[in-house]
A and B are shown apart, each in its own frame.
With several copies, the nearest count.
Chain A
Amino acid sequence: MYDVQAIRQKFPTLQQQVNGKPLIYFDNAATTHTPMEVLDAVRDYKERFNANPHRGAHYLGIQATELYEQAREKVAAFINAPSPQEVIFTKNATEALNLVAYSYGFSQIQAGDDIVLCISEHHSNLVPWQRVAKLKGATLRYLYLTEDYTLDWEEVREVITTKTALFAIAQMSNVLGTIYPIRELVAYAHQQGAVVVVDGAQSVPHLKTDVQELEADFFVFSGHKVFAPMGIGVLYGRRELLESMPPFLMGGEMVEYVQEQETTFNDIPYKFEAGTPNVEGAVGLASAIDFLAGTSWEAIQEHEEKLTRYALERLQEVPHLKIYGPQAGRTGRGPVIAFTIDGCHPHDVATIVDQDGIALRAGHHCAQPLMNYLKAPATSRISFSLYNTKDEIDVLINSLQGVRGWLGYES
C-alpha cells in the first residue's frame, strides 16, 4: 500500500498553513520540497565533514572527497550511467545544457547543419541552441505537435534528416505533461547520424531513468526538482563524446599542467568541473536518491497517475476550463496539467487559489515558443509530486469553481 500520509510526514514544508489554510503545493514542476532526511544529511555533512574536496591531504578533505565521489556513483547508478566518470555535477539543468551547447555545440556544429528541437522545449533547452545556430550558421528547425499534443512520426522523419547534427528534446514537457517516445526518437535520430540531448528535468522525478536504455548521448536534470537542494544539477554524457570535447568553465580542479601560456586538462569528469564544487548539494542529491529508493517507481507512478487521472476528470466540472495536453493515462503523460479558464488570466487564477492555500504556477512556464504555437499567451499549471493527495485536488476544484465569480462573471 502506498502510504501518502507517511510520505507527507517527512516533508516539513508541507505541514504549513498558507493564508490560514493548509498548504496545497501543486507547483512541483518548478521545484519540489525536501524531505527531512535530506535536510538532515546535508546538515550532518556540514557539521562533521565540511571541506574542499580533491585538494585535501587532511581528514576533513578526504571525507569530503569521498562523500562527493560517492554521490557521483549514486547518481550514476540512479540513471544507469555506464560509469561515474560520465556524470558531471553542475549547478542546475540549465548549466548542464549550456555546457553541452558551448563545449559540444560550438566545437562540432558546422555551417549548414540542422539543429532540431521540439516546439515544447523549455527556454533552457532552446535559447542555447539558438545561439549555437546563429554563431555557427546552422539552421534551427522545430518539431510541432499533433492535436493530442505529441509528435507526428511523419513529421519527425521529414525534419530529422542526415543534415541533422543535433536533436535536443525534453523527455517530458514541463507545460503539457507529454512524455515523448525518447527511445524511439533517439534510435531514429542516431540512424540519421544526429547526436541527441535529452532534457530529463521533468521526467526524472516521475519515471525510472535509464540513460543506456534511452541511448541518450547527453542527459541532464536538476536536483531541486527531485527532492534535493538547489544548486546541484547533473550532466550525463557518453564517454567518447565527453573525452573529445573541449572544457567549458575553466579554473581550479579541471587542469593538469598549467603554464604561463598553455594549459592541459584533467580527465573526465573533472575536466568539466571547474572551481569548488557544491559538495553539500551533491550529498543532498545522494540522500534524495536514497529517499526515492524507499518507494518503488511502480508505486510512485501508480499514485501520480491516479492523481492525474482524477484531476483531469474533475477539472471537466469547472465551467469554461480548457486543458492543454494529452488526455491519456500513464503512457505518454506525466503529472503536469496546463489549463486556462475563459476570460480569466492565469495570473489572476493563481492569486485567487493562493487565498485558499493552493500553489499553482501561472505564465509561459519558460516555454514561450510553445505558448505562441498554442496561441495561449499564458496558462495555469498544476503539477503533482509523490506527496500530493486526492483531497487536495478536491480543494483545488472547489477553489477553481469560484474564480470566474471573483473576476466578475455571472457563471
Chain B
Amino acid sequence: MNLSSLYTELILEHSRNCENKRHLECATCSKRGHNPSCGDDITIELLMEDGKIVDAAFTGSGCAISQASTSMMIDLVKGRSAEEAEELSQIFLGMIKREIKTEEELELLEEAIAFQNISNMPARVKCAVLAWHTLTEAIQEANLHS
C-alpha cells in the first residue's frame, strides 16, 4: 500500500472535518477511546432518543487515519438505530480483518469502504478501528443504562 492510496483526498478531507468534530452539548452518552501505543485519543458523544442515534460527534486528537475513520463513521451512523450502528461497526471490523468480502455488505459502509486495504499497513489498523470499537462500547453502555 503506497502513500497515495492511504492519504486519498476523501480521507484527508474527512480527517479535517470540523462538522463532526465538536462537542455535543446535549449528548446522552459519551465514550473515550485510546490507543495507548500511538496516542490516538478520541471521545465519541451520542444523542440517543428511543434507541436512535439522533446526533453524534467527537472530540480528541489523533492521526489522519483515526480522525477520518471517526468522521466517516459518524456520517454513517447518524440517524440510524443503535442496532443498525452496531451492525455496521461489525461489518467495518470484519472488513478490516478480511473476514467480510461480499460487495453488498461492504457497500453498506458507504465512504468508510476507503479503509478496505488498511490491513496492508498493520501499524495503522489500530487507528482505523478505534472509533468503531469505541462506538460499540458506547452503545453497549447506553443499553445497559436504559
Direct contact of A and B (CB under 8 A): yes
CB of A303 closer than 8 Å to a CB of B:
no
CB of A77 closer than 8 Å to a CB of B:
no
Binary interface profile of A, 30-60, with partner B (CB < 8 Å = 1, else 0)? 0000000000000000000000001111100
CB of A124 closer than 8 Å to a CB of B:
no
Cα separation A256 to B36 with both chains bound (whole Å): 5
Q: How many A-B residue pairs have CB under 8 A?
A: 72
CB-based contact B64/A345 at 8 Å: yes
14 pairs from A and B in contact (CB 8 Å cutoff)? A57-B123, A255-B36, A270-B36, A345-B64, A347-B62, A348-B65, A351-B123, A352-B3, A363-B37, A363-B38, A378-B39, A407-B15, A408-B9, A408-B16
CB-based contact A66/B122 at 8 Å: yes
CB of A82 closer than 8 Å to a CB of B:
no
CB of A93 closer than 8 Å to a CB of B:
no
CB-based contact B61/A377 at 8 Å: yes
CB-based contact A345/B9 at 8 Å: no
Binary interface profile of B, 8-38, with partner A (CB < 8 Å = 1, else 0)? 0100110110000000000000000010111
| Minimum CB–CB distance for B126 against chain A, Å | 10
| Minimum CB–CB distance for A263 against chain B, Å | 11
CB of B46 closer than 8 Å to a CB of A:
no
Specify which of A66, A363, A407 is in contact with B64 (CB 8 Å cutoff). Answer: A407
Specify which of B16, B36, B39, B122 is in contact with A347 (CB 8 Å cutoff). Answer: B39
CB-based contact B61/A355 at 8 Å: no
Cα separation A121 to B61 with both chains bound (whole Å): 23
| Minimum CB–CB distance for A43 against chain B, Å | 24
**CB-CB nearest 10 A-B residue pairs:** A345-B63, A347-B63, A408-B12, A378-B39, A363-B39, A377-B61, A62-B123, A348-B63, A348-B64, A364-B39
A interface residues with partner B (beta carbon < 8 Å): 54-58, 61-62, 65-66, 253, 255-257, 266, 270, 345-348, 351-352, 355, 362-364, 371, 377-378, 406-408
CB proximity to A under 8 Å, residues B52-94: 61-65, 67
CB-based contact A256/B34 at 8 Å: yes
- Which residues of A are found within 8 Å of B15, using beta-carbon distances? 407
Cα separation A364 to B39 with both chains bound (whole Å): 6
- Which residues of B are found within 8 Å of A407, using beta-carbon distances? 7, 12, 15, 64
Cα separation A57 to B38 with both chains bound (whole Å): 8
CB-based contact B39/A377 at 8 Å: yes
CB-based contact A257/B34 at 8 Å: yes
CB of B40 closer than 8 Å to a CB of A:
yes
- Which residues of B are found within 8 Å of A348, using beta-carbon distances? 7, 63-65
- Which residues of A are found within 8 Å of B45, using beta-carbon distances? none
CB-based contact B36/A351 at 8 Å: no
- Which residues of B are found within 8 Å of A352, using beta-carbon distances? 3
Specify which of B3, B36, B122 is in contact with A355 (CB 8 Å cutoff). Answer: B3
| Minimum CB–CB distance for A22 against chain B, Å | 18
